[in-house]
Structures are given as C-alpha cells and as structure tokens.
C-alpha cells in the first residue's frame, strides 16, 4: 500500500464532526483490525453487493482532501481507479477502469463490474493519487441453470450505533463458509444523539447529534456507521444483499409519512428523497429504472431470492381506533411489487424461493399476554398500546395483501417459500398459516418464516429493564400457547443468524451475543431450526451447520 501526503490531523478532525469517530477500541481483533487500518482517503472502507452470474457491484467512498468530509458538499471531482482480479495479489487483473466522483455523489463510487465468470471469487480495490484502498473479496452467483448444492448466508437486522457495538458483524466476518450476507433492514437509525439507546444509556453517540432529516444529515450518518471496523470488515469479506426498512428514513415509515416525522421537520417528500439519495450513494445496491429497490437474485437451480421494499408503497398503519387492517384497499407492497412478487414465486424453477422480508409476515396474536408484557411486546412488533391482535407495522396490519400472496402460493401449488426477516429485535421461527384460526386443527401452512434478532437494538428485557431470561420466558410461553404455528420465539438476545440452503432443506442457526455493549462480545449458538423440501413446516435441527 502506498500513500501520498495528506493532512491526517485535519482529516480526523473533519471526520469526527461529519462522519463519526475513526478511532476504535484496541481490543477489536481479527478482520476488524484490518478494516480499522484503512487509509484516510478510503476511511469508509470498500463493499460489494448484488452479485449476478457475470456481474457484481463494488463500492467505496473517497476523501480526496480533508475538507471533502461526508455531507459537506465540498472537495474536488476526482477520478478513482478500480481493479478486479482473481487473486489477492492482483497478478491476474481481469477488469479495471476509472470512475469519476465528486460532491454531487458525496464522493462515493459504485461500479457494476460486468464480464465476470459465474461462481467465482474475485478481489477488488480502488486507488486515488497513489493511495490504494483495502482489498475486498466478493463472488459472483452461479450460472442460472447450474446444479448447485449449497448456499449459505449471514442474516442480520437492526444495527443501532448508539445501543452497542457491531460484534455480530465481527463474528460473521470471521467465517470463511459464507456466500454472502442478507441485511433485512434498519442498517442505520435516524434518531438524535441520546435518543433510542441501550436501555436509555448511550454507548456511543450518533453523529450528527440532531435527528437526521436533510441530505447532508443522512450522508453523515451513513458515513459514521461505515467507520465501524466490524461493519467494514464484513463488507470487506462478503457481498451483501440489502434492503431498507423504516429507520433508513424514520420510524414506522409509510408512503406518505412516518411516525417519527413531524410538520416542523419540513416536507416529508423532501426528507424521503434525501434519505433515498444518500442510501443509494452509500450502499452497494442496484436501483431499478423506476427507482425501485425490490429486486431478485438466482443461485443456480437451487434458490431464488426476492428482496422486498415494504416501505415505499404501503398504506399508513392502522391504530386501535382508526382503520381496518383487512380493508381491501390497504397495501404493504403496492400493486406493481405484489404482481412482481407473485409472478416470481410461481414462475421460477428454482427449488427454494427465499424472500428477503423486512417485517414479519407470520400472524401474531398477543391477546393472552399479561399486561406487564403487552406494552413491551407491542413496542417490539409495532403494536399500538391498547391493541390486542394486530401487528400493525408488519403484514398483520395489511391482511388483504397477505391473503392475496398466500392464496397465490396455495392456488399455484408453490412449495418451498421461506421468508427471511428482521425488524422485531428478537428470534422467531414459524409456519406461515393460510388461515390462523383453522391452523389449530388442520395445520395448513403456505410457507415458513425465520426471523433474526437485532444486532444491537433494544429487545424485551431492555424495554422492561429486567435481567435477561427472567420474566421474558413467561411472555414467550404465552405467545406460543396463543399462536400454535410459532415453533420458536426468544425475546431477549442480540446477535445474528446463518441460513444454510441445500436441495433437501433450509436450516437457520441463531447465534446470540454475550454483551452488545462490549466491543469484544462472544457469540454462542442458541437454536437450530429447518424446513424440509416440500413440507411448508418448521422442524427442529440437530445443531449448527459445520
């Protein structure tokens, strides 16, 4: 790695203001240590995503001069060189070029590298004025018709900077057996410094300190998150499949507003446009011709992954006193995305139909929960206080769309649909019943769902401010009694999951962290569940995949 003269003191000062502190605890080790050593011109790391059989996105952000801080709108336009090779030493460069960037793109660089070979590992790097970035590793998808025996993904969601450290990412980055990472949403949070933390305690404050509402704000917050060494290490190690949920905009976002957006914060459409622009600048994701983020990926004949957008087109959430969750004119997907999803699920010849799903589709009743749990569980699943049956921010609040989708699966005899979900800061495994009431006696299920817990965001013991694994087990038991299609629920832990797909089954392993507030948190295996091909049922598994 070569370097050119650079005023590091001025750079660190500007980055601390606009992009978050770059200094990290010395205890961070492994891949995160390498990521922490990024040169200042490439202080936000490198990333890749959305792999196709012959194409993959690569991403970086450059800081050509100290004043070109994230969100500043300052700094020169520059030409950034990129290279892709089949070896880490770059003796065999297969593609290369340059990309121009500047303040209009917040000095981000995103390149769709075509002409690659299927099912191949590649290494990539960027350079600017003699300085070279870290070397990232990525891979292409198998050929569309290839007979593939395995797909293994990390599954993560809800990574709140203020609530702890991203140790879940560190543990995933240390694995050498993954084909990629699926992030189901809430990659970052919009709240001001000191708001929405770890049981009310700020582990590390947000930057900028205000709630983010403008383009500069969103750019700075993205920049701060990408100074985390564990996050950068996981981007460095694996291609990502990503979608957004609400906090990339504001809490409980819908098409025309959000719970966490007030009139004094300006025009909602302007805020939404700012959030979208920053997201597409800072994330290794493809944007469709109409600006859509829902998109589909194929892993040979083994699996097809549909990534959903459940925020841009949805109707406003109902409340206990307003709105009918089952009204036929209510939508969570929008008409175009629903048509796209149904045709993809019934039209593919892939064995497994995986759905990257930001909010839970499994119906949940909390009517039998004690009052002391109701509010806390309601906060987790988006249930307004006082309600007893509808998870209003998830598919439970849009039952016409859910029935349309599940009915389509039934009518077209679609087997092996697996929803991979985040959002609710807890771990769940469930059959997705065609009808919850009749499931009690016939057990009919149209699909299965596996929900990963949060990387750091508060869950039920944090909301109740009790010791983990004490009173929460009573709430878990009550949820299972009132919802027989639930096969696993754990409300207290933070961590990540691993999804293992082969022709016989899909297995999910949950791993829970020892302490989200520690940068050196350990992880333990918590649970393994699977679904066997053709069953549409969740069953137990003997242990984690090797």
- Tell me the per-residue pLDDT of 34-67, one tens digit each, with 9 for 90 and over: 566 678 899 999 999 999 999 999 999 999 999 9
Phi/psi at 529 (5° precision):
-130, 160
pLDDT greater than 50 at residue 389: no
Handedness of CA 48, 342, 157, 250 (dihedral sign): positive
Task: Give the pLDDT score at 116.
Answer: 98
Task: Give the pLDDT score at 23.
Answer: 31
pLDDT greater than 90 at residue 474: no
* Contact criterion met (CB below 8 Å) for 363 and 442: no
Task: Give the pLDDT score at 21.
Answer: 35
Domain limits, the chain: 8-139
Of the chain, the percentage scoring pLDDT greater than 70 comes to 91
From first CA to last CA, the distance across the chain in angstroms is 35
Q: What is the mean pLDDT of residues 244-248?
A: 98
Q: What is the band of 466 on the pLDDT scale with cuts at 50, 70, 90?
A: confident
Considering the entire predicted model, what is its pTM? 0.92
| 83, containing H or E segment | strand 78-85
CATH number assigned to the domain with residue range 8-139, chosen from the 4 options 3.30.1280.10, 3.40.50.12240, 2.60.40.380, 3.40.190.10: 2.60.40.380
Task: Determine the 3-state secondary structure of 92 from DSSP.
Answer: coil
Residue 3: Cβ within 10 Å count: 13
Packing angle between helix 8-18 and helix 215-225, nearest 10 degrees? Answer: 110
Q: What is the mean pLDDT of residues 467-491?
A: 88
Residue position matching structure tokens 């792999």: 51
In this structure, which long-range contacts are made by residues 246-249, counting pairs with CB atoms below 8 Å and at least 24 apart in sequence? 246/185, 246/186, 246/311, 246/393, 247/185, 247/186, 247/188, 247/189, 247/190, 248/185, 248/186, 248/187, 248/188, 248/190, 248/275, 248/279, 249/190, 249/275, 249/311
Phi/psi at 393 (5° precision):
-90, -10
Q: What is the mean pLDDT of residues 166-191?
A: 98
pLDDT greater than 90 at residue 378: no
More confident residue, 504 or 437: 504
More confident residue, 387 or 346: 346
What does the pLDDT look like over 98-143, one tens digit per residue? 999 999 999 999 999 999 999 999 999 999 999 999 999 999 999 9
Query: Average model confidence (pLDDT) for the chain?
Result: 91
Task: Give the pLDDT score at 39.
Answer: 80
Task: Give the pLDDT score at 7.
Answer: 41
């Amino acid at each position: 790695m070569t370097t050119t003269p650079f005023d590091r003191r001025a750079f660190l000062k500007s980055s601390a203001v606009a992009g978050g502190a770059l200094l990290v605890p010395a205890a961070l080790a492994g891949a995160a240590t390498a990521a922490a050593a990024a040169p200042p011109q490439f202080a936000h790391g490198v990333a890749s995503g959305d792999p196709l059989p012959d194409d993959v996105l690569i991403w970086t952000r450059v800081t050509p001069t100290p004043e070109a801080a994230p969100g500043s709108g300052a700094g020169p336009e520059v030409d950034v060189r990129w290279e892709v090779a089949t070896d880490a030493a770059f003796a065999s460069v297969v593609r290369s070029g340059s990309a121009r960037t500047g303040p209009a793109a917040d000095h981000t660089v995103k390149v769709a590298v075509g002409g690659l070979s299927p099912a191949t590992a590649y290494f990539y790097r960027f350079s600017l004025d003699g300085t070279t970035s870290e070397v990232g590793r990525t891979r292409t998808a198998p050929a569309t018709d290839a007979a593939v025996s395995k797909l293994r993904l990390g599954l993560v969601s809800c990574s709140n900077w203020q609530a702890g450290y991203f140790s879940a990412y560190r543990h995933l980055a240390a694995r050498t057996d993954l084909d990629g990472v699926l992030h189901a949403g809430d990659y970052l949070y919009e709240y001001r410094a000191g708001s929405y933390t770890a049981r009310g305690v700020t582990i590390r404050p947000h930057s900028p300190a205000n709630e983010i509402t403008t383009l500069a704000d969103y750019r700075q917050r993205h920049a701060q998150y990408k100074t985390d060494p564990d996050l950068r290490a996981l981007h460095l190690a694996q291609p990502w499949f990503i979608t957004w949920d609400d906090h990339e905009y504001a809490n409980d976002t819908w098409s025309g507003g959000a719970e966490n957006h007030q009139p004094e914060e300006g025009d909602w459409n302007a805020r939404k446009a700012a959030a979208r622009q920053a997201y597409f600048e800072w994330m290794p994701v493809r944007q469709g011709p109409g600006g859509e983020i829902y998109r589909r990926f194929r892993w040979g004949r083994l699996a097809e992954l549909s990534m959903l957008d459940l925020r841009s087109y949805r109707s406003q959430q109902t409340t206990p006193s307003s709105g009918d969750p089952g009204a036929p004119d209510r939508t969570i997907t929008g008409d175009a995305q629903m048509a796209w999803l149904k045709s993809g699920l019934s039209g593919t010849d892939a064995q497994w139909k995986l759905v990257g799903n930001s909010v839970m589709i499994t119906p949940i009743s909390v009517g039998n929960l004690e009052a002391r749990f109701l509010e806390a569980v309601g906060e987790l699943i988006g249930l307004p206080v006082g309600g007893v049956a509808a998870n209003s921010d998830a598919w439970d609040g849009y039952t016409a769309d859910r029935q349309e989708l599940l009915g389509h699966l039934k009518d077209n005899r679609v087997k092996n649909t697996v929803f991979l979900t985040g959002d609710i800061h807890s771990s769940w495994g469930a059959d997705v019943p065609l009808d919850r009431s009749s499931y009690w006696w016939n057990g009919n299920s149209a699909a299965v769902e596996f929900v990963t817990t949060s990387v750091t965001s508060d869950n039920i013991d944090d909301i109740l401010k009790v010791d983990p694994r004490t009173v929460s087990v009573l709430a878990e038991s009550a949820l299972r009694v009132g919802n027989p299609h639930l096969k696993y629920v754990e409300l207290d832990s933070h961590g990540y999951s691993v999804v293992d797909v082969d022709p016989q089954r899909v297995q999910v392993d949950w791993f829970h962290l020892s302490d989200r507030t520690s940068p050196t948190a350990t992880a333990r295996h918590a649970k393994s569940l699977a679904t066997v091909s053709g069953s549409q049922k969740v069953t137990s598994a003997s242990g984690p995949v090797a």
